[in-house]
Structure 1
Amino acid sequence: MRGMSVPLKQVALPTEHGGWGFTLEPVLLGLLLSPGPHTLGLFLLGLFGFLARHPLKLAYQDLRRGKRYPRTDLALKVGGAYLLLALLGLLLTALTAQGPFLLPLLLALPLGAFVAWADARGRSRDLFPEVAAALFMAALAPAGALAGGLGAQVAWGSFLALALRDLAALYYARTQVLRARGTFPKRYPALLALFLSASFAFLLAQRGLLPFAVFLGLLALALYGGYALFRPPVPARVIGWTQMGFGLLLVLLAALGYTWMGLPTALLGAPSLHRLLGWSLVGLAFALSLWLAFQKEVPRAARFALGLYDLNALLGLLYLALGAQLSPHPLLALLGVVLAHALLRRPPPWPGVGFFLLGLLLLWH
């Protein structure tokens, strides 16, 4: 291996996919609850701290064996660069914070130490280290709330929302992955985790410690999970993407719930962004329909572009949820997105037809 070149991607990017959701959800919630440089710094801290874990783990494993490969040196360089960016994020938050943001991070340090211990012994994929890692990252949400000068109740609520979602998601996802591998795990621990999380969220919402919208999100996750556990197993990547979708939904519902409670969150800018993005996407939809008419298969760029229309439809629904006058415009955008997704799965010329219909509905919008 000493004379071989090592692909940068192999060292720089983690192999596990679930960690992305557990990392991005708390920093996104912090950005939504209290947008500003203080939460941008925590975003950098969380993202690059998560990315540093993989190369540093590779370097530790090599050095522990008394070996030094080309990947060892590359891993040390990449891990060091990630740590530097994470520290710059921490410094940005420290210089701009309006409250004691370090408190949640310090309280979560024992969890981080346990995760590091499990990593060193190759047990990071066990259930309890995965739970500890998710809760450790969840501390970034209350840190962002406190950095923005928000109260302890909002900080606690943001952590509890993510903690309940993490526990439910981990038990459910592990059970589903085992089923996808052809084993027959017991379903009741996952079912208990799903419905107990929703029940605790309901009790906390009744006492004003959580937005009621968080309970609705966890109830939706429990109902979907309970249904999926008795269906035929699906590939692991489908499980991962589905859980990331529910994680994003819960973050948005938590931020929406606090907005309804009078907190000036970043969601208040959703109506303006929806209008701006909607008009700019009309011409793009017709251009994509014309381009796809000459393609024999759907390019990846078209699937990526459809994500912009997903975002536009989501912003429209948020616009309605924030108390706007009832209007068919966001619903037309949503209908267009559903049609485009359905036709994108079919052979040409249907993908082009899907974008043409999407453009017409947005133009009517």
Structure 2
Amino acid sequence: MAEATTGPVRLRPIALPVEHGGWGFLGAPIVLGLWVAPSVAGIWLGLAALGAFLMRQPLKLALGDRQRGRRYPRTVWAERFVALYGAGALTALLIAWLTTAHPFWLPLLLAVPFAIVQLRYDLLKQSRSLLAEICGANALGALAPAIALCGGWRMTPAFLLWLLLALKATSAIIYVRARIRLARGVPAGRAPVYLTHAVALALVVGLAAIDLVPWLAGAVFGVLLLRAVLGLLPRSLATPTPIVGVQELGMSFLTVAGIAVGFQMGL
């Protein structure tokens, strides 16, 4: 592998994710899982997920440099951060396994294909493609059922948490992508956004009707549909992108709170 020299190495772009929206997709399932089923093992599992999440950026850089047959000073630092984050994630995962009396592996194993797809797109430099973003968000969503299982939840309601988060994440990604494109004057269809949100709402209401999820979750998805309609109005498109990101974090917290309170209080 050829050595390459560059200027001073900036550690922040190596050590931390450049896509800030990923933090919301990481935080939502951790907060939801710990809210409905708090446990020591669940906390350690959340820390393990944080380590794995942080490892993605330096791993993407290190593997990309290796693919090009080049080795930069940043490559060394990327490998160091991969080792640091990986060791932290494995240690936390081991502690979670040692401190729980309940198996939590199944949702994590089922999330692996989603994570592999996202990593593949990372290496192809297509991290912002629709499929990559959806797979990445849904891989992180598996943390909610895993943490709930650590806290003693049964398998079916635990996996329903993942389904609810997957519906929210998928519809939110499609909405934000369309909103940003329209704000930049790039053609984008509103119909797929409305359809995705309407289907998500219908599924949640159907699950609530057969007592599998709380009705409060259905109300939350109704708010998300209203947000999508209002957010794509021409007058809303002038909102700066950072503000849109903050609004989406608020929507994530609203979703988590509505689902958690609904399950806890049977609403």
Sort the TM-score into its range (normalised by shorter chain). over 0.9
On the 8 A contact 1:40/1:89 being kept in 2, the answer is no
Q: Secondary structure at the match of 1:14?
A: coil
Runs (4+) of structure 1 exceeding 4 A deviation are none
- Given residue 158 of structure 1, which amino acid in structure 2 is its aligned partner? L
Counterparts of 1:308-347 in structure 2, within 5 Å, are none
On the 8 A contact 1:41/1:88 being kept in 2, the answer is no
- Structure 2 unaligned spans of 5+: none
- Offset at residue 91 of structure 1 (A): 0.8
- Given residue 160 of structure 1, which amino acid in structure 2 is its aligned partner? L
String of CA shifts for 1:244-299, please: whole Å, max 9, x gaps: 1101111111111111039xxxxxxxxxxxxxxxxxxxxxxxxxxxxxxxxxxxxx
Q: Which residue of 2 aligns with 1:137?
A: 140
Do structure 1's residue 88 and structure 2's residue 88 form an aligned pair?
Answer: no
C-alpha distance in 1, partners of 2:242/2:51? 23
TM-score, with length taken from structure 1: 0.69
C-alpha distance in 2, partners of 1:253/1:92? 30
On the 8 A contact 1:24/1:47 being kept in 2, the answer is no
C-alpha distance in 1, partners of 2:201/2:169? 12
C-alpha distance in 1, partners of 2:143/2:23? 14
- Offset at residue 79 of structure 1 (A): 1.7
TM-score, with length taken from structure 2: 0.94
- Given residue 34 of structure 1, which amino acid in structure 2 is its aligned partner? A
Q: Which residue of 2 aligns with 1:279?
A: none
On the 8 A contact 1:31/1:39 being kept in 2, the answer is yes
C-alpha distance in 2, partners of 1:29/1:42? 13
- Offset at residue 7 of structure 1 (A): 2.0
C-alpha distance in 1, partners of 2:203/2:234? 26
Report 1 or 2 for greater relative contact order, CA contacts < 8 Å, sequence distance ≥ 6: 2
Q: Which residue of 1 aligns with 2:128?
A: 125
Do structure 1's residue 25 and structure 2's residue 28 form an aligned pair?
Answer: yes
- Offset at residue 3 of structure 1 (A): 4.9
Q: Secondary structure at the match of 2:70?
A: coil
C-alpha distance in 1, partners of 2:218/2:133? 23
C-alpha distance in 1, partners of 2:216/2:45? 25
C-alpha distance in 2, partners of 1:41/1:208? 31
- Structure 1 unaligned spans of 5+: 263-365
Query: RMSD in angstroms over aligned alpha carbons?
Result: 1.5
Q: Secondary structure at the match of 2:18?
A: coil
String of CA shifts for 1:129-151, please: whole Å, max 9, x gaps: 11111111101100111111111
Identity, in percent, stands at 37
Do structure 1's residue 226 and structure 2's residue 229 form an aligned pair?
Answer: yes
- Given residue 243 of structure 2, which amino acid in structure 1 is its aligned partner? V
C-alpha distance in 2, partners of 1:206/1:182? 41
Q: Which residue of 2 aligns with 1:250?
A: 255
On the 8 A contact 2:220/2:258 being kept in 1, the answer is yes
Do structure 1's residue 182 and structure 2's residue 182 form an aligned pair?
Answer: no
- Offset at residue 71 of structure 1 (A): 0.7
C-alpha distance in 2, partners of 1:45/1:12? 16
Q: Which residue of 1 aligns with 2:103?
A: 100
Change (3 A) 1:3 1:178: closer
C-alpha distance in 1, partners of 2:78/2:188? 37
C-alpha distance in 2, partners of 1:207/1:163? 20
